[in-house]
Amino acid sequence: MTELFEILHSTRAMRRLRPNPVPDALIAKILRAGASAANGGNIQRWRFLVVKDLEIKKAVQVWYKRAYDEVIAPRYSSIAPPPGTTAERYARQHAAVEYLTDHFHEAPVWIVACLAEEKPTRWSGASIYPAVQNMLLAARELGLGATLTTRHLLYEKEAEAALGLPPGVHSYAILPIGYPMGRFGPVGRGPLRDITFLDRWGENWDIPEEG
């Protein structure tokens, strides 16, 4: 079994997925991992919609593509590469994002992470995103590619209608899941010291070297 920290440091967003079917038994393992996550008061308001129906996925993909054309593509073309990466690697990331956009509906399985909550608050995500992270890590352990995407929320009303979500249920992420075309590997991040402060905001912590 892969070591926990190896999984943590190599769970990349896998956006190029093969259309090959994924066994239900593996999806069930991923869902069980999600349902083991922490959530506020253990109320368990999470709901997981597993989508395999191609027509449903196509209907959502229309809005996903529109969000890319109007927001995501212009953003990639106008900002510098983020910390921990290069212009070349950032261009490859953009290409992968574009690929997912065009092939979103071809991912064999989607898990739509939702909360059954009438009026979401700022802290609502604390009861669903730990489950999402658990599912991403479980997929990685099983050799499956996945990514957390929230882009459909730029057209939330239309996308959730296409998903058939009832009143009082809101989606927080879609996880397209499938066998990856590429390989898992280290994630690109900037130095930890640049984003970590000790006691007072702005005073960087000289973090001990990993031993």
| 70 in Cβ contact with 101 (< 8 Å) | no
pLDDT, position 194: 87
Q: Any idea of the CA torsion for 104, 160, 67, 123, to the nearest 10 degrees? A: -110
Q: Any idea of the CA torsion for 164, 169, 173, 176, to the nearest 10 degrees? A: -30
Residue 110: exposed, middle, or buried by beta-carbon count in 10 A (0-12, 13-18, 19+)? buried
d(CA 154, CA 179): 27
Options 3.40.109.10, 3.40.50.720, 2.60.120.200, 3.40.350.10; CATH for 4-184 is 3.40.109.10
Cβ contacts of 126 within 8 Å, gap of 6 or more: 39, 40
Cβ contacts of 87 within 8 Å, gap of 6 or more: 81
Query: Hey, where are the domains in the chain?
Result: 4-184
Q: What are phi and psi of 92, to 5 degrees?
A: -65, -40
pLDDT tens for the 211 residues of the chain, in order: 458 888 888 888 999 999 999 999 999 999 999 999 999 899 999 999 999 999 999 999 999 999 999 998 888 777 888 887 888 887 888 888 999 999 999 999 999 999 998 788 888 999 999 999 999 999 999 999 999 999 999 999 999 999 999 999 999 999 999 999 988 888 888 888 888 999 999 998 988 777 5
Question: What tokens appear for 87 in the block?
Answer: 């212009």
Return the closest-CA partner of residue 50 out of 161, 159, 164: 164
d(CA 160, CA 20): 26
